[in-house]
Structure 1
Amino acid sequence: MTDSELRADIHSIEPIPDADRDSTGPQQMWIWAGANIAPVNWALGALGIILKLGLMETISVIVLGNIVGCAIFATFTVMGHKTGVNQMVLSRSAFGVRGAYLPSILMFLMTLGWIGVNTYFPVKVSMGILGQFGVPDTWFVEIVVITLVMAVQVLIGIYGFYAIRTFEKYTVPPTIAIMVLMSVLAWTRPGVVNWSLTTSLPPGAHLAMLTLLMTAIGVGWGISWVTWASDYSRFVPKSVPSKSVFWYSYVGMFVPTVWLGILGATIASTTLDTDPAKMVSAVFGGPVSILVLLMVLHGPIATNILNVYSATLAALSAGLKFSRFWLTVIVGVAGYLVTLYFIFAPSFAKAFDNWMISLLLWMSPWAGVVLSDFFIKRKGKIDIAELYRSPETSAYGDINWAGMVAFCAGLVAGWLVEDGLVGALQGPISINLLGGADLSWLFGIGVAGLVYLALGKFRDVALLDRREQRRQLAASKSMDHVLRSTPGNVRWGLWDGRLKPVLLIASGDRVTIETLSGEPDDLPDPSLGYDIVPGHAEVKCLPRAGSHRRRHGPAVLEGAASVRRQHGHEELGTGSTLYFPVVVPGALFSAGGSVPAWFFVA
């Protein structure tokens, strides 16, 4: 393990610089595999049995659904790889700068629920295993386990991406080995799996439960991760092919989700329960239970470190003015309280299914809008600087009503064909015309995406008008300046912030910087017939301090602006100090000087 693997993550929601994008495809795979080697996936597989479906059809739904759901998820990882931007900031191109605050807040709240869900399972399984060694199942012991698990995952979340990547890299392989052992024990012992279990439901209810399961843990499981996807793929270098990022992320999500889902379904075929403690005690005991306990404790930590980290990014993307450190602490406390709710809930399975379905109701239309915007409308090309401009000046606008209307249309369409266990979320078309079938994920994505593309045609005209107005306004106010190399403008030595400005410039102004070639000792002999530029002799006689480098004095920027450099933009605020000369690619240098160059402020 190297020092670079344990370094603190200093990044927030700004684009990741190319120099810091050092993640690899396999590392992305370990991240998503670790996040899904969790006890929650046992219960996901067991849900089909609890809904009175047969074992084989439950397994089929888990496999086929995740083939589609994981593909949707992996597509979102490509967005972060192409841009270096986290997922919620990327959604500003579709919803507007402040319009994207809504999904950011929804994701923040949703992630708190996931932290509670993922901490609930290790607590229950740990109590079941510890009970085999005489440790009583009391509320005090449960609180101790919750506190220890939460403390570890918040600490790793504070360190950020690099700690997450390192944790998953070194813990996932041995965890997979334990999964293999668990699977062999479960599937080879007699009486553990009822392979012949079939459904007892009538045809109408049977179809309804199949679609409900497909929404909740088939396609829906991959969709439930899309708001996290780019937060981690943004660290992969652009030199890595996007196809590689897609497939590594896909495999990392698909394999453990399907594997543990099938394991949970097979064990539940005899226990007929989603309680993870009962599922473990029915199969595993003695020394094996210790290994299972290690995997159980690893699962929520591996998952929740992503939840804690991404929740803070979502809060920052919503405009909250806290440091990532304090947001991480807040997330940890809130997640702790949600965990207590799930621990003491009368029926976890019902609470979990209700909550899962409600998540997909808003995530599906959000995914439809963002996918349509990024891949169809913009062909994968985003003006990254515009994502970070103020709502008043960004080319993506304050609130993109096309995105908001499409999102709401997808919400309504998804609700009409939804059949969750929550009465308020049971749509009339699903109940009255489809016999209770749940197609909310499909209609949510499809309707939202189509409506957005239709409305986006009208907004494109307004967007072009906004950019043209900005260009014309900047052109009308811009001024040309010439900064000459005179004794009053040039100083020898190190930079000094106490220097008075030699030039005031505004956003949009254009500056021509006059520079001098050659150090004083390199000036040509007048007897050779060369003319010395007026003022050069005087400049060479100026006093020097600490350096033999010649510098222009500072220029102070009036009003906020961004300086166009060779690689992107640098945001500057009112009163920012700009030092000259600026190094320009292709400029000629002679003994420390340069030919005149242009300096742009936009």
Structure 2
Amino acid sequence: MKVETRSIEYVPAEERHGKARDLFPIWFGANMHITTLVTGALPISLGLNLFWSVAAIIVGTLLGAIFMASHSAQGPKLGIPQMIQSRAQFGVIGAIFPLFLVMFVYLGFFASSGLLAAQTLSSLVPIDQTWSILILNILCFVVTIFGHDLIHKMQKVLSWSSFFIYLAATYIIFQLPISAGSWSPGSLDWPVFLLAVSIVATWQLAYAPYVADYSRYLPITTSTAQTFWYSYAGTFIGTVWMMTLGATLTIAVPNFLDHSGGNLAHLFGRFAIIMYLIIIFGQLAINVFNLYGAFMSTITTIEPFWKLKVTPKVRIGMIFGVTVAGTILCLLGKSDFLTFFLNFIFFISYFLIPWTSINLVDYYVLRHGNYNVKDIFDVNGQYGKINWITCIAFVVSILAEIPFINTSFYVGPVAKAFEGADIAWLVGIVVPAALYYFPMKRKLSKAEYMNEKQETVI
């Protein structure tokens, strides 16, 4: 297995390989882990019963996966990582703004997934949780060094092994006794339901900054529709399945979230070791995603100022630096995981949603996928250093979300008026789309007119 030689640069046609269907196991496997399962427990923790928790999981995934898969469909045509493509909207220097925020996404999920993996490993073998964190993060570091092709192969193995083990787990879990009325629709607390939908949709949106990183090696002729639907199907099935199990376990097993990995494994009795290994494997796999994405974002941030040649030595050094940062965050968060994770999920949604709205409007509505890839790497190219239209739309959209948010540390006035309903994610989709589309359409039309005029003169 060779170390990946490319980082953020364009993947030429002769190096493209694979088929759109290869994306299904990538995104199915990416959700078959304990962090997804714990996220499915959050609607229960907020106060919904099992029926409405599962409904929120399905609705949130159906909505969020649209955005996630739409980003995935950009990969084959552009052949570059997702976040570097943001330079076409924000400008080569301006793209650093959302990149810093995305770095928190990677590190936050790296820390939360690492904590759950360490808990599980410490239950399996008698070692301190700190040592478990260090051992597992070193393994993630080694796999990430090899990069794209090894990650694809690992995800295929994880998808098939997880499928059969979690199929058995599903049978066991649905035999567990649960409280009466858990599956009854009864009355619905709409504010809490909307909050739960927002959490689940955000889970899918968290993939958006790096989903195209795993489709950019596909041949340029790969169908956009196939890229979308294989990504969508993989992430939808994996997410709904695992989150439903998480919600059910939270009802059926007392204090399940106190030690989710160990509690899940113990359901297998004398075969618990199998589930322990699957859980640890799943956490390693998703953390490789997070580490790989953090590495790509770091390169993208540095590249406009320092034309760095990413040799294997440089690659290893940069991945090591990101691993250290994630490990420190992991060690700091281990004392109160659930509070840390819930606040983190809320936090990232308020930044990721406006970014994804701007990116998709630009790609699908304004430019129809037509970009000059060479200029994306040129500070003096057509996309400029900073696109103030985008940056202002992005900041104003985040400010517009504030009255609508509902978190443990702040509840906006509109959210209070709506009895706690958090609809900031809807504001985060609509407001930036409008603020970006109209002035940017005028700017592009003017540029097109000037080009045509210049060609006529010539």
TM-score normalised per structure 2: 0.92
1:262 aligned onto 2:244: yes
1:179, 1:307 → 2: CA distance? 23
Task: Return the letter of the residue paired with 2:32.
Answer: I
Q: Secondary structure at the match of 2:73?
A: helix
Equivalent residues, number = 448
Deviations 1:504-563 (A, max 9, x none): xxxxxxxxxxxxxxxxxxxxxxxxxxxxxxxxxxxxxxxxxxxxxxxxxxxxxxxxxxxx
1:246 aligned onto 2:231: no
Equivalence for 1:437:
421
1:212, 1:466 → 2: CA distance? 47
Equivalence for 1:315:
298
Deviations 1:6-63 (A, max 9, x none): 2221011111111111022232222222221110112111111111111110011101
Task: Return the letter of the residue paired with 1:194.
Answer: S
Equivalence for 1:162:
149
Q: Greater helix share, 1 or 2?
A: 2
1:460 aligned onto 2:444: yes
Q: Are the counterparts in 1 of residues 405 and 412 from structure 2 also a CA contact under 8 Å?
A: yes
**Structure 1 unaligned residues grouped into runs of 5+:** 1-5, 476-602
**Of 367, 381, 388, which aligns to 1:378?**
367
Q: 1:350 to 1:198 in 2, by over 3 A?
A: farther
Deviations 1:99-121 (A, max 9, x none): 11111121123211111011111
> Greater relative contact order: 1 or 2 (C-alpha under 8 angstroms, separation 6 or more)?
2
1:113 aligned onto 2:100: no
1:358 aligned onto 2:340: no
2:215, 2:28 → 1: CA distance? 14
**Of 117, 124, 134, which aligns to 1:147?**
134
Task: Return the letter of the residue paired with 1:343.
Answer: K
Map residues 489-528 of structure 1 onto 2, 5 A cutoff. Answer: none
Q: 1:470 to 1:307 in 2, by over 3 A?
A: farther
Q: Are the counterparts in 2 of residues 116 and 339 from structure 1 also a CA contact under 8 Å?
A: yes
Q: 1:226 to 1:183 in 2, by over 3 A?
A: same
Map residues 159-308 of structure 1 onto 2, 5 A cutoff. Answer: 159-189=146-176, 191=177, 193-194=178-179, 196-197=181-182, 206-217=189-200, 219-271=201-253, 273=255, 275=257, 277=259, 280-281=262-263, 284-308=267-291
Q: Greater strand share, 1 or 2?
A: 1
The worse-fitting range, judged by mean Cα deviation, of 97-106 and 412-421 is 412-421
Alpha-carbon deviation of 1:469? 12
Task: Return the letter of the residue paired with 1:372.
Answer: V
Deviations 1:460-496 (A, max 9, x none): 2664589799999xx9xxxxxxxxxxxxxxxxxxxxx
Deviations 1:165-215 (A, max 9, x none): 1111223201211111111111124x2x33623799997xx2221111111
1:395, 1:123 → 2: CA distance? 47
Task: Return the letter of the residue paired with 2:119.
Answer: K
Alpha-carbon deviation of 1:125? 2.7
Equivalence for 1:349:
338
Alpha-carbon deviation of 1:343? 1.2
Q: 1:274 to 1:443 in 2, by over 3 A?
A: farther
Equivalence for 2:76:
81
Moved over 4 A (4+): 198-203, 461-472
CA RMSD of aligned residues (A): 2.5
Alpha-carbon deviation of 1:422? 2.2
Q: Are the counterparts in 1 of residues 261 and 279 from structure 2 also a CA contact under 8 Å?
A: no
Equivalence for 1:50:
45
Alpha-carbon deviation of 1:69? 0.8
Flag the structure with larger Rg.
1
Q: Are the counterparts in 2 of residues 39 and 276 from structure 1 also a CA contact under 8 Å?
A: no
2:448, 2:58 → 1: CA distance? 45
1:279, 1:288 → 2: CA distance? 14
1:463, 1:325 → 2: CA distance? 42
**Structure 2 unaligned residues grouped into runs of 5+:** 309-313
Task: Return the letter of the residue paired with 2:433.
Answer: G
Q: 1:170 to 1:270 in 2, by over 3 A?
A: closer
